[in-house]
Each structure stands twice: as C-alpha cells, then as structure tokens.
Amino acid sequence: MRHNSETETCETIQAGMTALLDNELAPGEAAALRSHIAGCAVCAPVFAQVEKTVQLAHSWKAEGADIWEAVERRLTSSLDNALPQSLAPLRSRSHLSEILTTKRKVTAEQLAEAGAQATEDAAKSAEEPAGTINQEDLRAVLTEMRALRTEIQELRGEVGTLRRLLSATRQAAPAKGYRPLSPPQLMPLALPEDSGFGLL
C-alpha cells in the first residue's frame, strides 16, 4: 500500500514531467525527477505516456501562408495606411494623389504638415533636376489646402446659421404657449419625504 506522502510525491513529479521534457527545470531538479521516475512503478508509465503524447502532438502540421501580396494590397488601398507613408517624404506622386482624391479623411493639419515637409525637402535639394522633388505636388497640396480652407469657412457659416436658428426658436417658444418645466416643479418628486418640500 502506498502512503499519502508517496502519492503526493508522485503527483508533484507528474506535474513536473512536462517541464522536464521542455528542459525548463534546473539541473538538480531534473536529476531528482528522472531518478524518481526510473524507480517508481506509478510514474514510469505515466512519463512514457506523456512523452508519447508530446510526440503525437507533432503530427498536426499547420502550414504557414504567404500573405505579403494581400498585405500590400491593403496597404495601398487604405488611406489610413497609405497616408503616413505619403506624409513622410512626399516622395511618391501616386500616394499624394491618393490623399488628394480621398480628402475627406485628410485634415488641414496633415496637409499643412505635408506641405511644410515638402517645402523643407525642396529647399534641401534645390540642385536636383526639376520634377524629382515634387514641386508639382507641393502646388497641388497648397491648392488643396486653399480648397479645404474654403470648405471650413462654408461650414462655419452653416454652423452660425444653425445657431441663430436655434436661438430664434428658443425665443419664439413662449409666445406659442410652450412652457418648459422649471426646476422647482420637478425637484420635490426627486426629494425624500423628510426633505421639507413635501410632495406636490
């Protein structure tokens, strides 16, 4: 008959078998485990099964896949992905075009940053042949900035109109007999009975 302490020892040993196979134990621990397993009628077959299981698990072959083409497609088709790349050196006309044709996602700040970067680049490489430093792109960015500024001004105008309309509606409401509930009418309902207000 096996004693409880022996059973506990075997449980501990069996819990460490995987770590033993993974070479995760300190040399002393590993030696102690191997020594126990070699002389234990309970742990030896369990260890053999664990080894077997680990070996069988290698039978599942999951093939990796080449995904660069798909990643690249998504990279160039998404403005969110293409935008930062274009903003870096403004080196590619195609990337700039992508920004300009999907301007709804491009903020004025981003365009200003791009323009500043392009100006800096142009100043640094003034000796390069014309066209390589995207002077044309710079002009396009500035044009776009102007267009965006106009849009912003228009939107500001619309917001102002809406504000005036709202204000006029508020002022006109009492004249049509509409009386909004005032706070004193609502408060007693939310207060406890002993608050001194009583219920209306």
Residues that bind another protein (CB under 8 A): 15-19, 22, 24, 49-50, 52-54, 56-68, 70-72, 74-75, 80-81, 84-85, 88-89
d(CA 92, CA 76): 12
Residue closer to another protein, measured from CB, 79 or 188: 79
Neighbours of 134 (CB within 10 A): 19
From the list 97, 68, 104, the residue with the least C-alpha distance to 82 is 97
d(CA 121, CA 115): 10
Coil vs helix vs strand at 101: helix
Residues 6+ apart with CB under 8 A from 22: none
Residue closer to another protein, measured from CB, 24 or 136: 24
Q: How far is the CB of 195 from another protein (least distance, A)?
A: 46
Residues 6+ apart with CB under 8 A from 96: 86, 90, 134, 137, 140, 141
Q: How far is the CB of 51 from another protein (least distance, A)?
A: 10
Contact between 118 and 90 (Cβ < 8 Å): yes
Residue closer to another protein, measured from CB, 105 or 163: 105
Q: How far is the CB of 67 from another protein (least distance, A)?
A: 5
Q: How far is the CB of 168 from another protein (least distance, A)?
A: 44
Neighbours of 29 (CB within 10 A): 13
Residue closer to another protein, measured from CB, 66 or 193: 66
Q: How far is the CB of 96 from another protein (least distance, A)?
A: 15
Residue 196 tokens read as: 């001194």
d(CA 124, CA 179): 68
Residue closer to another protein, measured from CB, 65 or 199: 65
DSSP state of 22: T
Residue closer to another protein, measured from CB, 69 or 193: 69
Q: How far is the CB of 152 from another protein (least distance, A)?
A: 25
